[in-house]
Amino acid sequence: MDSQKVLEQTIGIPFSEGNSVSVLKNGDRIFPAMLGAIKEATSSIDFLTFVYWKGDIATEFAKALSKKAQNGVTVRVLLDAYGALPMEQKLVDMMSESGVNVIWFRPLIRWKIWKTDNRTHRKILICDDKVAFTGGVGIAEEWEGDARNPSEWRDTHFKITGPAVSGIKSAFIENWIEANDNLNLEVVGEDQSEEKGATLIQTVRTSSSVRWSDIVLLYQSLIKLAKKRIWICTAYFNPDRAMIDLLTSASESGIDVRILIPGNHTDQPVTKVIAEDSFEELLGAGVQVFYYTKTMLHAKIILVDDELSCVGSGNFNQRSMLKDDEINLVLIDEKINKELSGHYEEDLSNSEKVLPRRWKKRSIFRRATEGFMRIFKQEL
């Protein structure tokens, strides 16, 4: 089965050729690469994030963006009004006074109250329309370091050059137009690098909707395409009925299905309870489930067989599938898949496997809590 053709026909988005992708693991590698691209920008910087909190890195980004604006670079910053709520006002003031165009996405006080619960969860940085970054990282002290202890979160981000930058830019523009009500027709700069990459990339931008978004079609397609393995890493795991059926069916057919999620080190304990509601059925079908025990695990990665990798901002939960704007990239590249697989196996070495027999013996209170939390499943 031709994975590329199946995904193009199902999602309706073609793959672009000639891309280069760098895998950036944890803040010690992610932030220097992003700040380096900002420093080298000469014409434009577009930055969109759900999380912009506090810490030295928050100040460093604000200063870097402010400096470029003062030097004549067009800098646009789009902050989700809910996710970036803890951000210090002095940083917003610093950027605005320096000439950065700072806009808040879907302010919490608005007459369209039905949109308040639908956020942009995307994380995008684009410099000079030639290099883009996306993945799971937020701008906050929690992401600094190298996941060495519970105060340093584990995450993965990606640096992309090539034609796929255009698709990533479109996700930024979509949110920018809604928040700013200003459509400026632009042409993404041509990639002037002589060396072309070998990675095929399908850029899937999903938006909140009354129906399931394209991310559902994407996840379902990836599971059905698998012949040997499906390795899922997600910060928040909350599959719907159809996804559970697909995962259990794949496992029962002999496919190696693994799910890696945060353990006790999680920023949202309630999501751990929500995730556990599906464990008994998944474990009964042979799906392997692991708790990451070292720190908070925030990466969002799906590995299918030896070539397909799905990365981006979307979690394997109903909020990403229904309520939030997300951006995911499907990469066809054996080398990238192998590198991410190595990271996955390393993360498993810092994880605790959920054993079926032990799970069946969990307390009545724990079972009752799982049952009660079902009423919130579509919110998380």
Domain spans of the chain, in order of start: 20-196, 202-379
For residue 343, the number of C-alpha atoms closer than 13 Å in the C-beta half-sphere is 25
Q: Is the pTM of this model over 0.85?
A: yes
Burial of 339 per CB tally in 10 Å (0-12, 13-18, 19+): middle
Spatial neighbors of 352 by CB under 8 A, at least 6 apart, are 263, 290, 291, 293
Spatial neighbors of 194 by CB under 8 A, at least 6 apart, are none
Q: Are 100 and 121 in contact (CB under 8 A)?
A: no
- Residue-by-residue pLDDT tens, the chain, 380 positions: 699 999 999 999 999 999 999 999 999 999 999 999 999 999 999 999 999 999 999 999 999 999 999 999 999 999 999 999 999 999 999 999 999 999 999 888 754 544 556 889 999 999 999 999 999 999 999 999 999 999 999 999 999 999 999 999 999 999 999 888 666 666 545 554 556 899 999 999 987 654 567 899 999 999 999 999 999 999 999 998 999 999 999 999 999 999 999 999 998 888 787 888 889 899 999 999 999 999 999 999 999 999 999 999 999 988 888 878 999 999 999 999 999 999 999 999 999 999 877 666 565 656 556 555 555 555 54
Shortest CA distance to 117 belongs to which of 210, 219, 218?
A: 210
Query: Which pLDDT score, from 0 to 100, does residue 348 have?
Result: 98
Query: Which pLDDT score, from 0 to 100, does residue 111 have?
Result: 45
Q: What architecture (CATH level 2) is domain 20-196? A: 2-Layer Sandwich (3.30)
Tokens of 9: 């026909």
Query: Which pLDDT score, from 0 to 100, does residue 29 have?
Result: 98
Distance (Å, rounded) from C-alpha 131 to C-alpha 202? Answer: 16
Spatial neighbors of 93 by CB under 8 A, at least 6 apart, are none
Angle (nearest 5°) at CA 377 between 375 and 380: 130
What secondary structure letter does DSSP report for 281?
A: H
Q: Are 176 and 103 in contact (CB under 8 A)?
A: yes
Query: Which pLDDT score, from 0 to 100, does residue 196 have?
Result: 83
Same topology, domains 20-196 and 202-379? Answer is: yes
Overall CATH class of domain 202-379 = alpha beta
What secondary structure letter does DSSP report for 52?
A: B
Distance (Å, rounded) from C-alpha 267 to C-alpha 128? Answer: 34
Please give the span between the terminal C-alpha atoms of the chain, in angstroms, as a whole number.
34
Query: Which pLDDT score, from 0 to 100, does residue 321 have?
Result: 82
Locus of tokens 């920018």: 176
Exposure string over 134-143, b if 16+ CB within 10 A, otherwise e: bbbbbbbbbb
Helix (H, G, I), strand (E, B) or coil at 192: coil
Query: Which pLDDT score, from 0 to 100, does residue 114 have?
Result: 47
Query: Which pLDDT score, from 0 to 100, does residue 130 have?
Result: 96
Shortest CA distance to 129 belongs to which of 191, 196, 36, 65?
A: 191
